[in-house]
Amino acid sequence: MDNLLRYLYNHFRDRLAVSGETGDLLIWGERISNGVRLLGLSFNISSAIRTTRGHGDLLFSCGKHIASKINLPILHIVYPSDLQTNPRATLLIDGQSVIKNDAQRTIQALFGTRQTILGTTKDVNKRTNDVFQDWARDNLPRDYVRNDIDAILLTQTYKPSKLIEVKRSTQVPPTRWTPFTNDARNYYMGNLLAQRAGLDFITLNHANKDIPVDDETTVGIHFIDGVSLNPDRIRSRKTLVNARELVLMFQKQQL
């Protein structure tokens, strides 16, 4: 878990749902001429993970709440660790066992698309540490785009309130860091989802140090006001606080 998210989790516990621990929550979209059309959400988990208790269950619950609010589907996808290498690998999609050769048709049917051009135009030798994302990039429609949701902060009544993106900077300090325009499409999707679901969309930036975040750690809060594509532009307002002030700000807004 990211050190800043761990710090926030220590304060908010079951009111902070974090991706990457026991599952991931993804936003799915489809490229169109003037931007991206939202398709829905998915909760993805490796079959190697034995339980979704904690973050996973909370993430899926948040995803179902958001999807229902914006009238879009949410998929529950369980994938094997050998998805890329095993020709007989199967996925569990919404409780249905699907061989991987049929998975793209199943996913398209659930999202309501019928695209025929599959795979990516990007370097196929470039891999991530996410087996599903690598498989999806090679096998799902070329115009599909996906983005992980890093975390969701809930209100005191356990309703999703803030969509949180976390960025760690290795060279540029939070005092000078701003969202990269190369990430505009991901910000566009996050901002579109947040607007439709009535959530705040913020990016938190902190220095990429292999040490725990403490009360005095500097954090840049970037309130995303709008995102446009072609040309790519991210409009945001920035506030610098320490981690303790960030917690107090969140607590005040949740009253």
Query: In the 3-class helix/strand/coil scheme, how is 191-250 assigned residue by residue?
Result: HHHHHHHCCEEEEEEEECCCCCCCCCCEEEEEEEEEEECCCCEEEEEEEEEEHHHHHHHH
| Same domain membership, residue 143 and residue 111 | yes
Q: Answer yes or no: is pLDDT of 125 > 50.
A: no
Does residue 182 lie within any of the structural domains?
yes
Q: Which of 147, 180, 206 is the last residue of a domain?
A: 147
**40 belongs to a structural domain:** yes
Same domain? For 190 and 132 the reply is no
Do residue 98 and residue 27 come from a single domain? yes
Q: Are strands 160-169 and 151-154 parallel, antiparallel or unpaired?
A: antiparallel
Same domain membership, residue 108 and residue 76 = yes
* Count of Cβ atoms closer than 10 Å to residue 104 Cβ: 18
Mean pLDDT across 178-199: 95
Distance, in Å, from the CA atom of 146 to the CA atom of 136, rounded to the nearest integer, reads 9
Q: What is the mean pLDDT of residues 21-44?
A: 94
Q: Which domain holds residue 223?
A: 157-253
Domain boundary among 147, 172, 198: 147
Mean pLDDT, all residues of the chain: 92
For residue 6, what pLDDT is reported? 96
- For residue 124, tell me if it sits in a domain: yes
The pLDDT of residue 104 is 96
Question: Per the structure block, which two tokens stand in for 237?
Answer: 């307002």
| Confidence at residue 157, expressed as pLDDT on a 0 to 100 scale | 92
Which residues are 238's β-sheet partners?
A: 222
Residue 179 resides in a domain: yes
For the chain, the domain total comes to 2
Same domain? For 120 and 176 the reply is no
> Are 105 and 55 part of one and the same domain?
yes
Query: Do 104 and 125 fall within a single domain?
Result: yes
Residue 48 has pLDDT above 80, yes or no: yes
My answer on whether 126 and 24 are in the same domain is yes
User: Is there a domain that residue 12 lies in?
Assistant: no
Q: Are residues 136 and 215 in the same domain?
A: no
Position 247 in a domain: yes
| Domain-terminating residue out of 147, 178, 213 | 147
In a domain, 161, yes or no: yes
User: Would you state the torsion angle of the CA atoms of residues 181, 210, 10, 250, taken in this order, to the nearest 10 degrees?
Assistant: -30
| In a shared domain, residues 26 and 82 | yes
On whether residue 195 sits in a domain, the answer given is: yes
Give the tens place of pLDDT for each residue, 56-83: 999 999 999 999 999 999 999 999 999 9
Q: Are residues 29 and 120 in the same domain?
A: yes
CB-based contacts of 63, cutoff 8 Å, min separation 6: 25, 41, 42, 43, 74
Do 46 and 140 share a domain, yes or no?
yes
